[in-house]
Amino acid sequence: MSEPSKVQVKTVAELAEQPEEYRIAVGKLVISHAINELYGAQVFDEPAVALAPTPYAKWLTCRVAMEEYGHHCHFFKLGREMGIPEEKMIPGKTEKRPLSIFEHKLETWEEFVTIKLLGDLAEILQVEDLLHCTFHPLRNLARQTMPEERFHAQFGIDFGQELVKTPEGKARLQEAVNRIFPSLPAFFGAAKSRNNEIFRKWGIKLRTNEEMRADYLKRAAEVVAKLGLTLPKVAQAA
Ligand SMILES: [Fe+2]
Ligand SMILES: [Fe+2]
């Protein structure tokens, strides 16, 4: 029998032959993505269309919302193929709660720009970690959605650059960053996570939560620095 980390699971049919620990671990990731992509689209991306200041901004925000709903649909479809019940992948129908970042009540365009700038950067790191996942249907989905997640983060940079052209816009964006950023480091999960240990054992994910969080903090600081902004100090996540 091959080493756990060397196992390559090419199809959903092959997944059925894997140990229970592997099947449960992959299922958790698919459920989490299906729930959070849908909830994010519902509470951030779709409402942001009404907040977008120009027809051009509305057009691109519609595209972002369409793609986020699309991400849910792709993970949901994979989950169904794996035999996961529909209700486990729909927020509100399952006891599993969406990530805490989504509890923020979106009220301004600057907040949405911040969410794309810094929230989708966090999502990019998560998707990057799946690009070499040993469960190929999930790896392929990560490779398929990655260009769109990059577009969402670039959307945040582009509209951020528009906002910082005026002192008022820059102040409003900095204020939004100060409000939203503190909830983002927790996106990477707890340190010494048992789930994460299992994901790495099987080559489903590559990095520890701590490594990903440290990388995220570095990349987030670089992104806001390009806009002449700063990150607020946040308590070091456990
Ligand atoms: Fe997404
Ligand atoms: Fe996104």
Structural domain includes residue 194: yes
Q: Which residues of the chain have pLDDT under 50?
A: 1-2, 237-238
What is the distance in A from the centroid of ligand 2 to the CA of 146? 9
Structural domain includes residue 238: no
- Report whether 231 contacts 206 (CB < 8 A): no
Structural domain includes residue 234: no
What is the distance in A from the centroid of ligand 1 to the CA of 39? 10
| Rounded CA separation 29/120 (Å) | 17
Number of Cβ within 10 Å of residue 143's Cβ equals 15
For residue 134 the two structure tokens come to: 């040993």
What is the distance in A from the centroid of ligand 1 to the CA of 75? 10
Structural domain includes residue 232: no
What is the distance in A from the centroid of ligand 1 to the CA of 71? 5
Structural domain includes residue 80: yes
Domain count, the chain: 1
What is the distance in A from the centroid of ligand 1 to the CA of 82? 20
Ligand 1 ion: nearby residues, β-carbon < 5 Å: 37, 68, 71
Structural domain includes residue 28: yes
Q: Domain limits at 159?
A: 9-226
Ligand nearest the Cα of residue 127 is 1
pLDDT digits (tens, 9 = 90+) for 31-44: 999 999 999 999 99
Ligand nearest the Cα of residue 44 is 2
What is the distance in A from the centroid of ligand 2 to the CA of 180? 16
Q: What pLDDT is stored for residue 238 in this prediction?
A: 43
Ligand nearest the Cα of residue 152 is 2
What is the distance in A from the centroid of ligand 1 to the CA of 42? 12
Structural domain includes residue 142: yes
What is the distance in A from the centroid of ligand 2 to the CA of 123? 7
- The enclosing domain of 22 has a CATH number of 1.20.1260.10
Which H or E run includes 161? helix 136-163
Ligand nearest the Cα of residue 120 is 2
Number of Cβ within 10 Å of residue 3's Cβ equals 9
Structural domain includes residue 155: yes
Number of Cβ within 10 Å of residue 132's Cβ equals 13
Ligand nearest the Cα of residue 70 is 1
Q: What pLDDT is stored for residue 236 in this prediction?
A: 54
Mention every residue, 6+ apart, whose C-beta is less than 8 A from residue 191: 208, 209, 210, 237, 238
Residue 207 has phi, psi (to 5 degrees) of: -110, 160
